[in-house]
Amino acid sequence: MASTKRLLPLDGIKVIEMAGLAPAPFAGMVLADFGASVIRIDKFTLKTNMDILSRNKRLISINLKSPIGTSILKRLICYDTDILIEPFRPGVMEKLGLGPDILCNLNEKLIYVRLTGFGQEGKFSNIAGHDINYLAVSGILSLLGRKNENPMFPLNILADFAGGGLISVLGILLALIARLKSGKGQVIDVAMVDGVKYLSTYPYLMKLTNQMWTKPRGENILDGGAHFYEVYKTKDNKFMAVGAIEPQFYAELLKRLNLDANLLPFQLDSSKWNNMKQLFTNIFKTKKQEEWTQIFYKSDACVTPVYELNYKIPEPTPKLLRTSGKLINNTKYFLKPGEHSREILKEYGYSENEIKEFSIKNIVDGLNYSKSLL
């Protein structure tokens, strides 16, 4: 009988993820969604898991301040691990005796991912930071915001998840392909600042060649300057997003708004954009969001409702037609730190007596021995 098991593209790939915030957990989640076996190494003192990106992973809590703890991690990594993801500041893994110079020599096929905000070197490399800081140093933050206002940061999607997490996954997949040819792994240096810069290649080149973003922040087509690329409030205090950039889409927009193009300024006459914004503002206030949604339904005016973030949990994407990601309808999101410690230790060849010793000596947490048995 043919197997009914769902085929996943990363089946058989084994990942160790050092516990961290946002980008590293997201990278691990993406790999797990597409079939990789991901073990997360939790901080030993962590009692509550605040990471909601744990789905499809297994968790073990190891005291890495103990030489025995680091030896356990080395066994996990050197036994058959393909990928290690570490999100610490430069030098932390080296202090633990777990730097790439050691681990990559012990496991030549290991792909060692170093995920930081500012990179392994440079004047910002050893300071703390968050998404807003990486956007700031990359130069991207200077492009975001309204005219005559401070730069406005978005949600922490750009640097943390796109420039950090997804770029890490891209690097991992490239390294896996390279390993097919060479038989060897390599170190991947992912800096969120660099990742965001790479994502901004298009605006950078458009600005460099004076094709777009030639005016101050908030006065260009795609940053809130133009009336045809803007968000407008409706009668019921909801919103509609307008993105009618191309002439044919703009013509359709005017038609659906019952406006005569012959009586209006040329679309790209920026001196009239503020007046046109006021006109559009007044018009969109006359109807509710659902009414506008129906008016623009199946049109090419590039006008859509602005919905709240209340849809179901996003499924893994892209959707590969033959080897897509895992279905997540019944996925468990909140896992306890060290929830799979015993299972993982058994899997990697540790005896019951050794496991009990790890519990007694506070080397591995989550083993659930009662005090009377110790």
339 and 297 within one domain: no
DSSP 186: -
Better-predicted residue by pLDDT, 242 or 2? 242
Q: Do the beta carbons of residue 337 and residue 47 sit within 8 Å?
A: yes
Q: Which of 14-28, 100-114, 168-182, 357-371 has the lowest mean pLDDT?
A: 357-371
In a domain, residue 50? The reply is yes
Average pLDDT score over the chain: 92
pLDDT at 5: 67
User: Quick one: tokens of 319?
Assistant: 């959707």
Number of domains composing the chain: 2
- Same domain for 256 and 145: no
260 and 182 together in one domain? no
| Domain-terminating residue out of 305, 339, 355 | 305
Residue 215 lies in a domain: no
Active-site choice (82, 160, 223, 365): 160
- 19 and 82 in a single domain? The answer is yes
Buried b (16+ CB within 10 A) or exposed e, 200-233: beebbeeeeeeeebeeebbbbbebbbbbbbbebe
pLDDT tens-place string over residues 236-279: 999 999 999 999 999 999 999 999 999 999 999 999 999 999 99
User: In this predicted model, what pLDDT tens digit does every residue of 3-53 receive, in sequence order?
Assistant: 556 789 999 999 999 999 899 999 999 999 999 999 999 988 766 666 788
Give the domain CATH number at 251: 3.30.1540.10
Long-range CB contact pairs, 217-222, < 8 A, 24+: 217/142, 217/143, 217/144, 217/145, 217/146, 217/147, 217/151, 218/145, 218/146, 218/147, 218/148, 218/149, 219/147, 219/270, 221/245
179 and 319 in a single domain? The answer is yes
- How would you label 108-119 residue by residue, b for 16+ Cβ within 10 Å and e otherwise? ebbbbbbbbbbb
Q: Are residues 51 and 195 in the same domain?
A: yes
Q: Could you give phi then psi for residue 239, rounded to 5 degrees?
A: -140, 155
Angle at 145 between CA 266 and CA 234, to 5 degrees: 65
In angstroms, the Cα distances linking 130 to 4, 93, 258, 275 are 44, 20, 46, 38
User: Mean pLDDT over residues 332-358, rounded?
Assistant: 90
Same domain membership, residue 126 and residue 42: yes
Q: What is the CATH number of the domain that holds 195?
A: 3.40.50.10540
- The answer to whether residues 28 and 15 touch, using CB atoms and an 8 Å cutoff, is yes
Distance CA 250, CA 161 (A): 33
| Residue 106: band (very low, low, confident or very high) from pLDDT cuts 50, 70, 90 | very high
Contacts of 150 (CB under 8 A, 6+ apart): none
- The answer to the question of residue 207 being in a domain is no
Radius of gyration of the chain from its Cα atoms, rounded to whole angstroms: 26
| Residue 192 vs residues 117, 130, 201, 204, 224: alpha-carbon distances, Å | 5, 10, 15, 17, 26
Q: Do 97 and 31 belong to one domain? A: yes
Domain boundary among the residues 247, 281, 305 is at 305
Helices (H), the chain: 23-33, 67-80, 92-95, 100-106, 131-138, 167-182, 192-199, 201-208, 247-256, 273-284, 289-295, 341-347, 352-360
Q: What residue numbers bound the domain in which 262 lies?
A: 226-305
Inside any domain, residue 219:
no
How far, in Å, CA of 121 to CA of 195, rounded? 15
Q: What is the pLDDT of residues 165-200, one digit of tens each?
A: 999 999 999 999 999 999 999 999 999 999 999 999
- 244 and 128 fall within a common domain: no
> Is position 131 annotated as part of the catalytic site?
no
Average of pLDDT values for 365-370?
74
Q: Do 27 and 47 have their domain in common?
A: yes
In a shared domain, residues 318 and 300: no
For residues 50 and 73, is the Cβ–Cβ distance under 8 A? no
Is 160 annotated as catalytic? Answer: yes
Q: CA 69 → CA 61, 63, 74, 129, 365, distances in Å?
A: 10, 5, 9, 28, 11
Residue with tokens 């058994």: 346
Residue 326 pLDDT: 74
Report the pLDDT value the prediction gives residue 330, as an integer from 0 to 100: 54
Is 5 inside any structural domain?
Answer: no
365 domain residue, yes or no: yes
Q: What pLDDT was estimated at residue 319?
A: 83
**Average pLDDT of the residues in 328-333:** 60
82 φ, ψ to 5°? -90, -35
Looking at 305, 337, 361, the residue that finishes a domain is 305
DSSP-derived 3-state class of residue 53: coil
**Closest among 157, 167, 173, 183 to 36, alpha carbons compared:** 173
Question: Confidence class of residue 372 from pLDDT cuts 50, 70 and 90?
Answer: very low
Alpha helix locations (H) across 209-351? 247-256, 273-284, 289-295, 341-347
Are the beta carbons of 55 and 32 closer than 8 angstroms? yes
Percent of the chain with pLDDT over 70: 94
What is the total residue count of the chain?
374
**Which residues lie across from 59 on neighbouring strands?**
40
Domain membership of residue 327 (yes or no) is yes
- Distance from C-alpha of 341 to C-alpha of 363, rounded to nearest angstrom: 11
Together in a domain, 140 and 242:
no
Q: Cβ of 373: how many Cβ atoms within 10 Å?
A: 9
Residue 282 has a CB neighbour count (10 Å cut-off) of 10
Whether 186 is covered by a domain: the verdict is: yes
- The answer, yes or no, to whether residue 114 has pLDDT greater than 50, is yes
